[in-house]
Amino acid sequence: MPDNFENFIQQHREEFEMPGPSPRVWDALEKELTNQGKGRVVQLLQKNWFKAAVILVLMINAGALFYFTKHKQHQQELAVIAPEMQEAKAYYTSRINEKLQLINAYPVDELGLDSTARKELELRNDTYKALEKELKNNPGNERIRAALVRYYQLKLDLLDKILEELQQKRATPGHTKKQYEAEI
């Protein structure tokens, strides 16, 4: 039997050393590939685009819901931790915002403040955020409460001084930039 096998190999050696499949096999593969049409991946996307859109909308809604509940919880935390601080915050915030509106009514050239100084005038700067964070970490600490109230008072005093200086320079808050430039 081994001799027959070796004879068969020697007789058909050229066929074994052929570089690839026969042309018949290639023709059959080409016919099979052209008959398939669109790929399966593309078909799946076409059928399920609506499902993908629904999932995307649900994910966006979940993110928005998470953000708003976290933000609302953040606001309620201060009211629960220190209700009297919530009242002080509301009072001082309204006063500070009124003063800021009056200051922002002046032309930028008249103010003489760069963008960094204007940002520091806003209520929620880094100092405020640090004090609020400390109050949440130590709600019973009277020194932190006093520091937060003092911060509000200093902010109001600073805004009052800025308004006094602006009024002394003869500019009125009702003036717009164009009216101010026309006077000059």
User: Which of 114-123, 143-152, 169-178 is least confident?
Assistant: 169-178
Q: Is the confidence at residue 176, as pLDDT, over 80? A: no
**Average pLDDT of the segment spanning 97-101:** 85
Q: Is the confidence at residue 142, as pLDDT, over 70? A: yes
Q: Calculate the average pLDDT of the chain.
A: 75
Q: What is the pLDDT of residues 28-49, one digit of tens each?
A: 888 887 766 555 666 666 677 7
Q: How would DSSP label each residue in the chain?
A: -HHHHHHHHHHTHHHHT-SS--HHHHHHHHHHHHHH-S-HHHHHHHHHHHHHHHHHHHHHHHHHHHHHHHHHHHHHHHHHH-HHHHHHHHHHHHHHHHHHHHHHTS-HHHHT--HHHHHHHSSSSHHHHHHHHHHHH-TT-HHHHHHHHHHHHHHHHHHHHHHHHHHHTT--TT--HHHHHHH-
Q: Give percent above pLDDT 90 in the chain.
A: 1
CA pair distance 168, 3, nearest whole angstrom: 119
Q: What is the pLDDT of residues 108-138, one digit of tens each?
A: 776 666 666 666 677 667 787 888 888 778 7
Burial (0-12, 13-18, 19+ Cβ within 10 Å), 172: exposed
Q: Is the confidence at residue 178, as pLDDT, over 80? A: no
